[in-house]
Amino acid sequence: MCADQSPHELGRLVVVEGPDGSGKSTVARALTAHLIQAGYAAESLSFPGSEPGTLGAQIYEMHHQSRDVLPIHPVSLQVLHVAAHIDAIEGRILPKLRLGINVVLDRYWWSTWVYGIAAGADRASLRAMIELEKLHWRAVRPAVAFLVARRDGRQPLDPKIRRRLTTEYKRLGETERNAYPVRIVTNNKSLSECVNSMISHLRSTGWSIPAISTQPRKVSARQGQLQFLKAGYAEGPTVFSRLTPAKPTIVYDTYWRFAYERQNIFFARWQNKPWPWTEDMILRDYKFTNAYRASDRVSQYLMHDVIYKGDMSCDEVFFRTLLFKTFNRIETWELLRREFGELTYREFSLERYDHILAAAMNRGERIYSAAYIMPSGGRSAPTGHKHSMHLRLIEEMMKAHLPEKIASAPSMGKAFELLRSFPTIGDFLAYQYVTDLNYAPHPIFSEMEFVVPGPGALSGIHKCFSDLGGLTEAEMIRVVADRQALEFDRLGLKFKDLWGRPLQLIDCQNLFCEVDKYSRIKHPEFNGTSKRQRIKQRFRPNSTKLPLWYSPKWGLNELISAEH
């Protein structure tokens, strides 16, 4: 909490509104991150809400993803959204404000009116439901409402709909400015300039917030190394908050540049541009995963050819996912498919699967991926072959009704604990499994909810920071994820995200692992915790192209089809 805010004072509500494609969500997160950096207790929330298990998440899924619901009447749809708003107001927003936490709210009741009008909903009905929502806000009014405008909205909205939404938002802003401050901010230049415009307005209402520097620092690699050796890398980004003065090294900037360039390579390959896709010789010569875990070849195959092909019952999806990820190798999955056809738990035979995999090993074939080492169970394992033990473990999970327990788990952390309770499943593997299972229709967890750093990520974190400032490694991953827009902007990097989806915690965790490898050549003077000095895997282009396809829960596949 900032010094100019009393411990007993209510937190303040800052609203960020605007049409789809205006960038309001990115702006809201960036503003929240800067408020925290300035010493304020602040949190970013959204309407209708997307936290797993909430009414908002259920309504979002029904609205955007469900194929089992007939078209919803515009008034009914807005009633559902208002119900989710009230649930968020009572359950999350008001309690945080009472604790003195400032809430930056992505959307307000304005969207109910604007999108309802655009869809042809009855105005009298919209007024009635908005009055109900206002009743639950009680005396709380926004300290300021920002209306984000962008001329080149990037979402695939029909131009007529976009114009209508923009017009309705402006009319509403003119009306509401009589009740509380309403400010229009343009988002056509850099993110820093947009957030600085918001900060200027907040200052006029009594907030003590420094502006964001819009000039990226330019330091050569040699200069940066000397500064690090002499003064603890004084040219790094500012401290994250007054409570956690983490000390970044030169590798921290490399982290963001690596993510930027690796994502550029991803899009160059997707657009069928000829090799080489980069001038970075390290990225040309060595193998690195994508900036987004879900874009990697194995994850793409898992989603498109394993999870969403076959019986979609809870048990069968779990069985296919764990069977595939145990070996994490496309060739092993296709070997089993050739032998047994559709792979189902109903017809699973441990002995038959064991026989086929043992025969493959006897032929000198690899059945496990080299991506990470699968535990064998050691001398206490009941069988002689590692794959036999893993098949038996999957069978034990199925008999323990683990699929339905995970599908109904209240959080990603709880699902992680359920997986972690089984023999040989450590923290790293449990986190990888719960992330893979979350690609399926159920469970519905946010990837921003929970993170567990693996060994490579731990090493990468300690290369990026000489001092974590009291944070744990998992907390540092969350801080980095929250700051991504600010850091790319600070370095002057126009990061192209995944069709509007920012880097998630799992992606930032993976990037720390990859930058640990990358820095073995780029920054050999940093040892991290792994002490490794070489990158083992050389890059070899794979001519087989997989369709780019993500979990339908994310709503990306339609955007990809529209762009391709």
Last residue of a domain, one of 204, 238, 273: 204
Supply the pLDDT for residue 231: 31
In a domain, 299, yes or no: no
Quick one: 192 and 56 in the same domain?
A: yes
Whether residue 43 is found in the same domain as residue 122: yes
- Does 408 share its domain with 554? no
The string of pLDDT tens digits covering residues 237-282 is 444 543 457 899 999 999 999 999 999 999 999 998 988 899 999 9
Buried b (16+ CB within 10 A) or exposed e, 126-139: beebbeebeebbee
Other CB atoms within a 10 A radius of the CB of residue 274 amount to: 6
For the chain, give the longest Cα–Cα distance.
79
Res 534: pLDDT: 86
Cα torsion through 263, 268, 274, 276, rounded to 10: -20
Last residue of a domain, one of 153, 180, 204: 204
Tokens found for residue 343: 């792979």
Range of the domain at 163: 13-204
Q: Are residues 286 and 332 in the same domain?
A: no
Domain contains 443: no
- What is the structure's pLDDT at 61? 57
Give bridge partners of residue 44 from the DSSP assignment. 104
User: Do 338 and 464 share a domain, yes or no?
Assistant: no
Question: Are residues 393 and 331 part of one domain?
Answer: yes
Are residues 88 and 164 located together in one domain of the fold? Answer: yes
Do residues 409 and 484 share a domain? no
Q: Encode pLDDT of 167-191 as tens digits.
A: 899 999 999 999 999 999 988 878 8
Q: Which residue has the tokens 């092909």?
A: 309
Distance, in Å, from the CA atom of 176 to the CA atom of 5, rounded to the nearest integer, reads 26
Q: Into how many domains does the chain fold?
A: 3
- On whether residue 237 sits in a domain, the answer given is no
Q: Nearest Cα to 443, choosing from 475, 398, 411, 418?
A: 411
As given in the structure block, the two tokens for residue 301 are 């195959």
Q: What is the CATH number of the domain that holds 133?
A: 3.40.50.300
Tell me what pLDDT residue 59 has.
63
Pair (428, 457) in one structural domain: no
The CA distance from 35 to 31, in Å, is: 6
Low-confidence ranges of the chain (pLDDT < 70): 1-9, 49-71, 151-158, 213-244, 372, 376-384, 543-546, 564
Same domain, 145 and 179: yes
182 and 261 assigned to the same domain? no
